[in-house]
Structure 1
């Protein structure tokens, strides 16, 4: 089936890097964490990954909660799971408030702006579909100077169904196929679970290894496009469209 010139991107983790958040954890708690034998980056990674799991679990069990709410609520649990005996004595509410405020300061990955520009210059409409709240995620684009029309910025919060539930992708897929004579739109992400789920609903799949390194296609299935960089992924989408 032919594909349409629409590309839907996951945002946080794909176009946006987590590094600023992990640096904020280091700035605020780094010395205390290292004294406990905990690397700030590992805490941040564990916190983010666990939040994604619990966000998904809440959604599929019918108790949807916004991702930021889940992320903040899990902070002290993560400290305890890392071996901190008394998490609420180890870190104060002010520490958590600081880290959450820095969460709004995430930055685009190197190559993200180039990736979006390449696609737009080739005639693609770029969409953003996030589990985050629209105000925060829209701020990442604005701060980077990347135009993202509000009508093309979508959140799971609107319908209360979290990715990778297949029902999270289907409304947008149906809309884009209806508007493009049944042609498949693209879904692009650096989370293999995300692009894999989108592909199973009917999107064409583009995966970038910049976050996870290992595609693990034996678990998640083959992709239409895989590349190690965001601009390279854009080039392959464009080339595939022209083939």
Structure 2
């Protein structure tokens, strides 16, 4: 039986770092947040995880952080400046090396994102990482977002062969867990979340601290 050498990556937060978004928050609101006892990393994480990229919910996130009048705390231009941080995001250190290692080992690399296709495509182009148009898919096309099983199923069906499972890789453990339940093999990188919570999300086929290390372990398991 042949080995399935297809691996699907989550892009935003996995291959692409949130650093530029955090820099935008720091530049725009950093001092005012600290005056309220709110650290930029906490605010950024809450917005990313709760707001689902919907900028208007920033007011609710600020309120949950203890800001009594969020609409007086931040204005529309400041929101736009922070949202621009999403457009300016760059690939993580090690992302290009990770993809190169996998391709050199015979893997075909794919991407599946919940974010705007054009913006995500720009992350690859600016980093110099070749990602064929046909290998990058967005949940926008189906209007079904992760972690709904139907978000993963089209690529799973396309890439499965002779009973062999393709891989799904992400730095969001919930994402890998959902993909595994759908039928993928799962590779999890702790570079974003810092800790693997197996008691919450279940076992992973591969766990690594960096993207290149994750690639090495996936390649080893595929031999």
Specify if TM > 0.5. yes
Task: Quote the residue 1:104 is aligned against.
Answer: 87
Q: Give 5+ residue unaligned stretches, structure 1.
A: 53-67
Does the CA contact (< 8 Å) of 1:225 and 1:233 recur in 2? yes
* TM-score with structure 1 setting the length: 0.88
CA drift at 1:181:
3.3
Superposed CA deviations along residues 178-227 of structure 1, whole A, max 9, x for unmatched, are: xx333211001111111111111111111111111221112211111111
Residue 16 (structure 1) aligns with: 16
What root-mean-square deviation, in Å, do the aligned CA atoms of Structure 1 and Structure 2 show?
1.3
Q: Determine helix, strand or coil for the equivalent of 1:222.
A: coil
Identify the residue that residue 184 of structure 1 maps to in structure 2.
Answer: 165
Q: How far off is 1:2 after superposition?
A: 6.2
Contact 1:22–1:44 (CA under 8 A) maintained in structure 2:
yes
Determine helix, strand or coil for the equivalent of 1:24: helix
User: Residues 120 and 77 (structure 1 numbering): CA distance in 2 closer, same or farther, change over 3 Å?
Assistant: same
Q: What corresponds to 2:57 in structure 1?
A: 74
Change (3 A) 1:2 1:206: farther
Matched-pair contact (CA < 8 Å) for 1:10–1:130: yes
User: Shift of the alpha carbon at 1:138?
Assistant: 0.7
Pick from 223, 227, 232: which aligns with 2:204? 223
Establish whether residue 132 from structure 1 lines up as the match of residue 115 from structure 2.
yes
Contact 1:119/1:126, CA 8 A, preserved across alignment: yes
What's the secondary structure of 1:127's corresponding residue? strand
The answer (yes or no) to whether the contact 2:172–2:188 under 8 Å persists in 1 is yes
Please tell me whether the aligned partners of residues 16 and 90 of structure 2 are also in contact (alpha carbons under 8 angstroms). yes
User: Any residues of structure 2 matched to 1:1-243 within 5 Å, and which?
Assistant: 3-52=3-52, 68=53, 70=54, 72-177=55-160, 180-242=161-223
- TM-score between both structures, scaled by the size of structure 2: 0.96
Secondary structure (helix, strand or coil) at the match of 1:184 reads coil
Q: Mind listing any 5+ residue stretches in structure 2 that lack a counterpart?
A: none
Q: Report how far residue 114 of structure 1 moved.
A: 0.2
1:13–1:211 Cα contact (<8 Å) kept: yes
2:101–2:212 contact (8 Å) kept in structure 1: yes
Moved over 3 A (4+): none
Query: 2:23, 2:85 within 8 Å by CA — same for their partners in 1?
Result: no
CA distance in 2, matches of 1:174, 1:76: 40
Cα pair 1:26 1:41 within 8 Å, conserved: no
1:59-100 residue CA offsets vs partner (Å, 9 max, x unmatched): xxxxxxxxx4x2x12111111111112111111111011111
